[in-house]
Structure 1
């Protein structure tokens, strides 16, 4: 039944006219907001809002629409790739359905289809969303991206993507390194993870503090475990300082076996408890203390 409904909706979307929002060739513009943290590639859509390709550091490409007043009815919009008016002999291609929400960002498109949309624009095709109107079920609303001038700005977008950091704040804000065996040795995998954190901290002036907490499993005496957790925390902080992190940003603590994250009764659990956690804190941003 869903396949029948979906097929009917796609045919209605492709063949309907309704109220269309799209920049003309003369009006079409692309705006790139580049940084090492994100690339935002935007096409203003007259009388509607903005079509936004968004590529964050460490993530894949996403797409969303922005509008001050959403005219699409809640439900699912049909997403299809249409030929431009000067190339009507080319076939339309459907990319499925996209959920519509009543907000200033009424729809978001996943990375796979967002990349497909961008490839279509490179070929001169027009990604188009169609959904019945919010206030009139018989009136389709169409929002279509113009491919005009796209390739002229695409190179600038690629340059922005090439300059992105390999990670974003969410990916490094709460991290941990594990210590195999019973020692305090930082292996190559741990150093690679720490290097990414260090790279991000150096690039983002909003990071104001790093909290480094050492832990152990419950094997052995508590006193020895506490000293071992201290040694592990100091190995991490010393590594970061040697790599250029300001020691004044670091708060180093050690807790022994007091805060296990897994059972110490199993080998796998003990391996998870032998750890150092690293938490980053930004200006004007309160984060939960996590050991």
Structure 2
């Protein structure tokens, strides 16, 4: 009973924001709870003398990285067309896989400051030991900008002591302002998002919708920025309704209307290979799924053989 009361007091201490180093660390371990004082933890973090943040910027991604001495790297990453994410990276598996705790706490020179608990995180066996999405990443950024220290805690891999990895806010603000400028210049999409794209058509139609035009504009913008893209395969398809001759003509028109739009948007005509297939390569039993033109981008180093139109990824075959 006394143990349960102490456990309940520790959890209330964390959830009500009492100072983290004066409370008890509560970590889920294999369905049970590991209790240890913060003083017993193995702490990893940069000090005033070696706290730096580095920005890697391009139109494809913006990355803020921070060396955590003895542990590895902490990275905020924002890819074109996606949202901000965060991950911890380590060459050595210092944490036991399982459920860790993410908080934003005060540095040692601000005693009594309330700790904000962001929730549990999954600790993996991979090199990227912890990965979180936009909500947690933005909360961590807000904490750093307000002089706080985002901290991940998890049981050590080979014993019961906690491992605590702490991000330093020192020298963070200026690189973060540069990061914000980088984000404002990112492309609207990344390669993975447009590598295989699909334009659907109504029955008997070759008309592009406003959404189709926006997607094609994004493809053209990306191709103009990525010099490794060598060619675009544009493949027109039809359903099986009607004659083969009509469907062949319709699939050719669908492919050509997409190719023409890409050319007008700035893609060199020499990069585009147009093919038409009628109803030869259906992707499902639904006619609407088969009325399509697909666009596949190929980069340097990709298979130089022009691939068949039935070899692709699911509904994006083309």
Which residue of 280, 294, 304 corresponds with 1:277? 294
How do residues 152-231 of structure 1 correspond to structure 2 at under 5 angstroms? 152-231=174-253
The secondary structure found in structure 2 opposite 1:12 is strand
Partner of 1:12: 25
For residues 228-273 of structure 1, the C-alpha deviation after alignment (integer angstroms, 9 at most, x for no partner) is 100111111122122221222111111111222233xxxxx33332
How do residues 33-182 of structure 1 correspond to structure 2 at under 5 angstroms? 33-137=56-160, 139-182=161-204
Q: Tell me the distance in 2 between the aligned counterparts of 1:96 and 1:56.
A: 24
Tell whether the 8 Å contact from 2:44 to 2:68 is kept in structure 1 after alignment: yes
Q: TM-score, normalised by structure 1?
A: 0.91
Tell whether the 8 Å contact from 1:63 to 1:108 is kept in structure 2 after alignment: yes
Partner of 2:282: 260
Partner of 1:30: 53
Tell whether the 8 Å contact from 1:9 to 1:78 is kept in structure 2 after alignment: no
Q: Using a 3 Å threshold, how does the CA distance of structure 1 residues 189 and 110 change in structure 2: closer, same or farther?
A: closer
For residues 51-97 of structure 1, the C-alpha deviation after alignment (integer angstroms, 9 at most, x for no partner) is 10011111111111111112111211111111111212211111111
Q: TM-score, normalised by structure 2?
A: 0.83
Unaligned runs of 5+ in 2: 1-6, 15-23, 27-35
Tell whether the 8 Å contact from 1:237 to 1:250 is kept in structure 2 after alignment: yes
Q: Tell me the distance in 2 between the aligned counterparts of 1:43 and 1:274.
A: 49
Q: Using a 3 Å threshold, how does the CA distance of structure 1 residues 187 and 101 change in structure 2: closer, same or farther?
A: closer
1:235 correspondence with 2:257? yes
The secondary structure found in structure 2 opposite 1:95 is strand
Tell whether the 8 Å contact from 2:64 to 2:176 is kept in structure 1 after alignment: no
Partner of 1:266: none
CA RMSD of aligned residues (A): 2.2
Unaligned runs of 5+ in 1: 264-268
Alpha-carbon shift at residue 19 of structure 1 (Å) = 1.2
